[in-house]
Each structure stands twice: as C-alpha cells, then as structure tokens.
Structure 1
C-alpha cells in the first residue's frame, strides 16, 4: 500500500531520548474537553494536515475527552490506513495513564494512579478504544507518591514485554523520581524511561532548563513538551479580553493555577509581539519555534481546534533557525526566569480522597506551595458518556480505603469473603445479591480460595462478577479480586500428591484452574494459602512471580505464614530481583492477636507488609449468638468446625463475649459491629474480610465502618481489661503438613 511522502522540506526529526526512535520536531496532541464535539472524521482531517507537513508523532491520554480522544484518534488512524495515506509504521502513537478515563473525581480507587493494576488495565482499555494492537510510547501521566516507583517500573516493563508498547516515559515527574526509576530499572535489568513529557514555554521553564540538566547528561533523557502557547496566553488573543469559546472562558480552566497570573501573562505576551514582527511570523509561531530551538526537546506538542489553525502553528518549524542567541536574549529581557524549588505535581495526590471522606471535590495541598497553587479543587463534572460502572456508586459515604502493603493498590477497609461449606446451596444470583450489597457500601475487595466449597465459591463469585458487568453494576477495574492456592479443590484428605501444596506445579496449574472457574483472565492478588515446609520457599517465590509475569495476577501474598517464612520470602525475592509478597492474610480478632500485634511488627517496619485479616468475629463467638446454646445452622453446629482446630477455648470465648456486650451498647452498636470495627482500627490492617450467610446480616456487619472512630484508646483499654490477651510463642499452621499423608 503506497503512502504519501512523510518528510516535507522543512520538517526534520530528533531521536526520542536514548533510543533509535525518530520523532518529528513538531507533534500533534489530542487534548480535548469531554464536551467537545470532535469526531473521528474531524480528527482524520487534523492528522492528515499534520502528516502532510511531516509530523509523525501523535499524542493522547486516557483522560482526554474521557476516552473519546483515543477513540477519535484510533478511528482516524484506521481511516488513514484504509485510504492509503499512511501505514501504521509511519506513525508514532503515544498515550498516557494516571487519571483514568472516567474523570478526576468520578474514577474509583484503582482506575487511577500508577499501580500495576491500573497501568495494565489502563493499557488494555486504551488499546481497545484506539483499536490498535500497540502504541509506540506509554507515559505515566503524573507522578504518584502512594505507589512505589519500583512497582510502576515493573508494570511499564510488563506492558512493553506484552508488545503493547515499545518504549515508556514519564510526565510531570520530579528529576529525583525519574532518576530513581532509572536506577531501579538498571538494578533489575529492566528498560528505563527514555522520555519525559513536561510543560515548557517562555513562562514555564524550571524542569526543562534547570531541574533535568543532569538527566540529559547521565541518561540522555528525551523530552516531549506541551503547552508551548502557555494555554493560549502566548497567542496574543487575550489582549482585548477572553474570546467566546477560548479556554479561559471555561469554568474548569479559569481557576487553573498559573504562575505568574493570567493578567500578567497577557501583558507579557503583548510585549513579545514586536519580536515576532521582526522575524516575519506570528506570536504563536515565534514561541513554538523558541521551544523547538532547545536541543534537549525531542518534539513539541501543538494543538488546534481547526485544520487552518493547525496549519499556521506547524509553520513555526520554518522559523526555528531564526531563534538566534540574540533573539533569545531579547525574549529573556522581557521575561527573565528565576528558578524555583521543585515541587511535586498537585495531581500526584489525586487518590488522596479515597483515604478520607471527601467525595465532592479533590482538595490538594502541597507543602510550601504559594496560595495560587494550594488548594486546587477538581470539581466533579457529569460525564459526557458515563461508563456502565457509574450506575452504581463505587464509594459509599462512610467507606474509606487503605493501600495494600507497599503497593499502589487501594482496598476498602472492609471486604467480603466467600468461605462456605460444600453443602451450602448457594447460587450465582444469591452471590450477586451479596456482592452488590457490599459494593454499594463501598467494598471493592472480594476474596476467595480454591478449596472454598471445593471450588464452587470460585464459580459463584465469577458468575456474580460477570452478571454485575453485564448489568452495569460495576466494571472489572472497579473490583479487587483475590484467590488462594494450597489445599486444592478436591478436599483436604482426597487431593492427589501434587494437587495441593506450594510446588511450582500446583501454583501454576492451580492458578489456571481458579481462573477457569472464575471465568476471569486474571485476579488482582493471589495468595499462598498456607505455609508448607516440604516446598523450598524459593520455588514458591519464583512460581508466584511467574504467575504475575504471565498476567494472571498483579500482586502476591501469603496466608497463615510465620514472620520468619515471610521474611525469608522477601529476602529471596530481593536477592533474585523478583517481586516480594506485599500482603499476609491472617486470622485477627479480639481473641487471636499473636501474629498481627506481635509477630509481624518487624515486617511492617522493614517491608511495609500489608494485612488482609479474617474471622473478625472469631467464628461467630463474638456475635453473642452462642450465649444460650449453639443455634441450628451456625458454624459450631457443624461437626467439622465444632471438633476442629478452631474450637479451642470456645466456652471461654463465649463467656468473654457476653462481658463485652455492655461496651458495644455504650457505643450504640452490636457486639459484632464493635468487634469488626476494633479490627479495622488497627492501622496495619489493610482490609478486614467479613462474611455473611444472608444479605441482611451482611448489611449489619458492613455498618461496623461507622463505629471505627469510636474505638478510642479508652474504649480499647476497657476491652483489653475484659479479654486479658496474653501473647504466646508462634505456632505452626495446622494445615502445613497436609501432604504428609502421601509420605
């Protein structure tokens, strides 16, 4: 298929950082408002205009137009290929992840940010919208202090290894963070970020001209810069006022933080006009050419609302040679830059709202910022085309979230577990009803395991997830789904030698089987459900990393492991350059505290270990329902529980629970709600897994979140006086020798 010439006389190219990728010195960006009425045909006209002038670099982002910009560009690319204007190889296409496509405040806890979950899910979603198999470059659109940089580096390399992108870069990052990302990549033998996308214009120079100087020398960092016209203030069109339809007539833009102020910029722009007249060009062409003249800038992103405007902006390339040192000196005499102390980009704290109860706006403050920058409020706007998942609120009024250990994954403080007996007659519809109740209360974490009801729990949860997606209750990105491997799905005593345990064989086969039962391509977190002395820990660490690299899970953790074994797993992972376990799932309640409150203390400090805890009601004894007798249908009416390992101290626990009831009454809640709230109040606990057999029971348990703030030190002291917990020596997990029967 023939294509038109891609190199007019005046367009030249630069390599994108320390890579072999050539990009045109001018590029086209697709930033748009969600209400802008662009179409794929309109974008096709813009792209052909640019392409015929030698532009090969076309930039996008998931947030632009709430995903519509990606759809338009993808449609335009497809049309250009069909009409023989270009081939895919002629184009350098980029996109960016961070804000999500739903909007600044409409997005849920994990469809924003730089977690592995969002980067992988975001990449898939962007490619679907663009109808492409790959983009050339993917960017982390903003920095994020909540997600470890190593997690982001690994995730971006995963995207490249999957063939979804060729290169990766950063956008609006501090030099120190870019340097750390490069050092991590070098240490792990991974691909560095090759490019940074920053704002650069006559008014905004700090990062490009000062902060990044060492990065150009050490890493040959490339730059794609945006806003050469300083959001239009360098066009000169604001001299007499704000024209209708211009950016500064829009409410979301009029309050944008800028330094110096809007009025000052307009005055300074007018003073630059005589220089443009001397060069025989327009003011926009002068300031765009000025950006291109910086040898560190690989490409300058220009935008336009009309093809004619784009034509004029692209003519700036004709005047780059005229930006001599003398011309630059004249410009600097009008606006002389004084470097400032680097600051974290305000949007870096976008997900902070999920850690507190501020739902209507994101108010971000940065230490030491001038009042012009702080606070910045991104007000919630109705989406042009709301995604199906917005039909159900992803964040109930009282539910807040915590990060899962040393990761960028946010989980609700309460979560729903699917533990059930094989004899229980649950259905997909019943589980869908339970999950929907939890989700409407703000729960996003749903836990299962291969042995729950001999695999039936996986099937029920998978069916419920599918139904929720079909009915628009949620999308997959809204949910954090976890699975656990160890016991197999055939029963504790009936499993074959290798259908249980932590061998590489069972880890891989068990994961595939769980995903098949769930009907999912991946889970978010996968756990080693119990320790096993027979399998070397290194084998399990390598196997779990294989599962992650295959894309079957984003993170891994342990369950019921000793502190010593978790520490060894972390040390092995560090030695081999692999991903550590980020979370442990342990029993934790008023009667079972050893591991969470004593044994794991050093792990919180050294590895920032996260916790998902189970049995907050101590197998029901902290509900108070066993005071008189064991009710029919309760857990302790089942022989396997009543005669099992968890029955120790049953009578004493029931007696103690009765003594705790007056404290719950003082707080205005049930004993069960107080016991659950007590677990949540431990700052080391990422999420407390609750269960229920009926929707009404689940509703009551989830109301525990309302009472967490009432668990004051004084209340806890009263509880401790009654429970009188005494730590004991670490004990071996009761299932770790499960496979000994085969020996």
Structure 2
C-alpha cells in the first residue's frame, strides 16, 4: 500500500481509504463489517473514513468496534459533520458552533478515540456565518480533538474563503472530499487548481460512480439483485446515469482494462489516482474480496494513450460543469 502526504501537511494517509457510507450499520452485518475492516488492515490500509450521519451514527459505532485493539497511532481516522443526527431537532444539523461542538464529542465517543486525524465539514452551511464555523474548528484543533480540518463538496470560492480564515486562526485546512470519477469530473476546472494553489489535496468518494464503472450493470438488462441501483435510497446520480448509452460506453472500456490486466473496478480507482491533486480514493465494501481487489489499483499506472482513449470512449456522457457542486449543496436549514 502506498502512502502520501495530505495537502501541505506532515500527515500521511493510505492512497486507498476504507469508507463505510451505506454499509456499516445498514446494508452490511457487523460480523461482515469486521471482516472487511480486517481485510483493509491486512492490505495495508491505515486510513478509515466515516461520518456521524452514516446510518444515523451507527456507522461510527461499528467502525470504532472494528478498530478496537489496533494501535491508534498507526491509524488515521476521518469523520464528518453537517447532516442531521439524532431526533432531527432544530440544531441537529449544520455547521453552527453548537452542532459542531456536540458532534465532535459524539463522534469521539462512538469511535472510541480521544481524537480524529481529520474532521471534515460534510457540506457548506449557508445558514451559519463561515467565521463561526471556522472558529469552532479552530477551537476543536486547539483542544486536541481533531488534528486537521477538511471540507466535503465545497466550491472553489468556498474553499478559498475557508482557507483564509484557517490561516488567520492558526490551523490547517488540508483537504477536500468531493465525488470524482471518470463520469463525474466537476472538480477539475476550479476546485482542483484552487486546492493545489492553497495546499489542499482531494480525498475522492465514489471513484466507481456508485458501482456503474465496475461494469456490473449491462445495457438492456435487469439490474443485479441487491445492487445499489435497486435500492429505494439510490442517489440521483446513479438514477441519472443508468441509461443504455452510459452503460454501453462503460462496457467499451473493457479492452483497455484487459490490456492493463486489471478489472474495470481497478481501472476506475486507478484513474482517479492519476490526478496529481488526488491524494486518495475512498472505497466501500460489502465483502473482503472487494477490498482486496480495489487495493491493487493503487499500483496501476494508466499510460497517457489509454487515458486519452477513455476520454474518447466516454465522450459527452462525462459531467464537467463546476456549477454542479453548488447546485447539489443544501439550502437554508
């Protein structure tokens, strides 16, 4: 497993991160979750990503239990704050000082640790002054409850404003966690160059476009039973992308994967890691075998001609509009 520095910091993370969105505490039984975490550790993954909102706090509990007994100093544990938790009361979401302070304490308790390595704003909060949010993060860092701060799905302008506050307040804003994959490239024109300028790295989620880039969905055929596309909770992204044109183009990527002697899933994860500003890709798993397969992608180098062929095959199915990040952000709370 390769490790790399996160942003302009001294913190190293594994290039493949194990994440537990929509798995732990939800679609994956706890015993299988433990096996998947063990597989990640055995493969050299040291970085684990979660959020308080996943399974309404249960995912943090499961991850904390799965990591119990591991040497804490050898792990990097990442979590997030913004979305509702608990009974969904008026202050149970957002980035107000109240919600942030209560959320970090809850996350630490559930994860069974005294601190998290990276605490991330899960979305931008238009209802709370940015200064209030950043002051709360600064205090959390000074209290030793988080070592570094990151954001998730923020625009370039929002990142720039937050970075200015972090410099003034004396803590390090080192990462952005956006959706990024062959089909969804909205960060490339603005977020990536801004982050590179300011010293942030990308930790990307959904490198496989929520399963589409694994090739398991075939044009003109029923979706596999139990797959993400069949769930009532399937995201807007996967519903919009599940058409025969996209699925056919994904199948047309197989010859490239075959030439590189990798699976389509490995090709997808390796593709995001080709971006110099991407420090790591988050993978999820419902079986240990998926962890073992995806970890191998960190060693794959895709030649320039193959990268060009991928662009040609996917063509105009690729979403590149940076405004999509702002469009997908929550409004007033």
TM-score range, shorter chain: over 0.9
For 1:218, the equivalent position in structure 2 comes to 197
Q: 1:347 Cα shift?
A: 4.3
RMSD: 1.8
Contact 1:181–1:192 under 8 Å retained in 2: no
The answer to whether the Cα contact below 8 Å between 1:36 and 1:65 also exists between their aligned partners in 2 is: no
The correspondence of residues 158-237 of structure 1 with structure 2, limited to 5 A, is 158-186=139-167, 188-207=168-187, 209-237=188-216
Q: Which portions of structure 1, spanning 4 or more consecutive aligned residues, are displaced by more than 3 angstroms?
A: 257-260, 336-339
Report the equivalent of 1:359.
none
Superposed CA offset, 1:259-303 (max 9, x none) = 963214322211111111111111001111111121111111011
Displacement, 1:308? 1.2
Give the 3 Å change call, closer, same or farther, for CA 37–294 of structure 1 in structure 2.
closer
- Contact 1:172 1:345 (C-alpha < 8 Å) held by counterparts: no
Q: Distance in 2 between matches of 1:269 and 1:27?
A: 24
Q: CA deviation at 1:346?
A: 2.9
Matches within 5 A, 1:463-612: none
Q: TM-score, normalised by structure 2?
A: 0.93
CA–CA separation in structure 2 for the residues paired with 1:247 and 1:60: 19
Residue 333 in structure 1 maps to residue 312 in structure 2: yes
Mapped to 1, the partners of 2:256 and 2:180 lie a distance apart of 19
Find the counterpart in structure 1 of residue 38 from structure 2.
Answer: 48
Correspondences of 1:274-285 after superposition (within 5 Å)? 274-285=255-266
Following superposition of structure 1 onto structure 2, how do residues 97-108 of structure 1 map, counting pairs within 5 Å?
A: 97-102=81-86, 107-108=88-89
SS at match of 1:308: helix
Gaps of 5+ in 2: none
Q: Secondary structure at the match of 1:166?
A: strand
Which of 21, 38, 41 in structure 1 is aligned with 2:29? Answer: 38
Q: Which string of whole-angstrom CA distances, capped at 9 and with x for unpartnered residues, describes residues 100-134 of structure 1?
A: 324xxx61211101111111101111111111111
Residue 72 of structure 1 pairs with residue 47 of structure 2:
no
Q: C-alpha distance in 1, partners of 2:206/2:233?
A: 17
1:646-661 counterparts in 2 under 5 A?
A: none
Shift of 1:35: 3.8
Q: Following the alignment from structure 1 to structure 2, what is the Cα–Cα distance between the partners of residues 123 and 249?
A: 34
After superposition, the C-alpha distances for 1:323-351 in whole angstroms (9 at most, x for unaligned) are 01111001011124463242415342262
Counterpart-to-counterpart distance in 2, 1:249 and 1:349 = 28
- Give, in angstroms, the shift of residue 316 of structure 1: 1.4
> How far has the Cα of 1:251 moved from its partner?
1.0
CA distance in 2, matches of 1:196, 1:59: 13
Give the whole-Å Cα distance in 1 for the aligned partners of 2:280 and 2:28: 27
Give 1:169 shift: 0.3
- The alignment status of 1:149 with 2:130, answered yes or no, reads yes
1:414-449 alpha-carbon deviations (Å, 9 max, x no partner): xxxxxxxxxxxxxxxxxxxxxxxxxxxxxxxxxxxx
> Does structure 2 conserve the Cα–Cα contact (< 8 Å) formed by 1:234 and 1:284?
yes
Larger radius of gyration between Structure 1 and Structure 2: 1
CA distance in 2 between partners of 1:129 and 1:62 (Å): 9
- Determine whether 1:138 maps to 2:128: no
Q: Summarize the alignment of residues 316-327 of structure 1 with structure 2, pairs less than 5 Å apart.
A: 316-319=297-300, 321=301, 323-327=302-306
Distance change >3 Å, CA 213–CA 257, structure 1 → 2? closer
Q: Given the two structures, how large is their TM-score scaled by the length of structure 1?
A: 0.42
Seen in structure 2, the aligned counterparts of structure 1 residues 261 and 32 have a Cα distance that, compared at 3 Å, is closer
Q: Deviations over 1:490-526 (max 9, x none)?
A: xxxxxxxxxxxxxxxxxxxxxxxxxxxxxxxxxxxxx
Alignment of 1:74-113 (within 5 A): 74-78=64-68, 81=69, 86-102=70-86, 107-113=88-94
Q: Which residue of 2 aligns with 1:400?
A: none
Compared CA separation, residues 110 and 194, structure 1 to 2 (3 A): same
Matched, 1:291 2:292: no
Counterpart position of 1:262 = 242
> Which residue is equivalent to 2:49?
59
SS at match of 2:77: strand
Say how many residue pairs are matched: 326
Q: Which has the higher contact order (CA 8 A, sep 6+)?
A: 2
Three-state SS of the structure 1 residue aligned to 2:131 is helix
2:278 is paired with a residue whose SS is coil
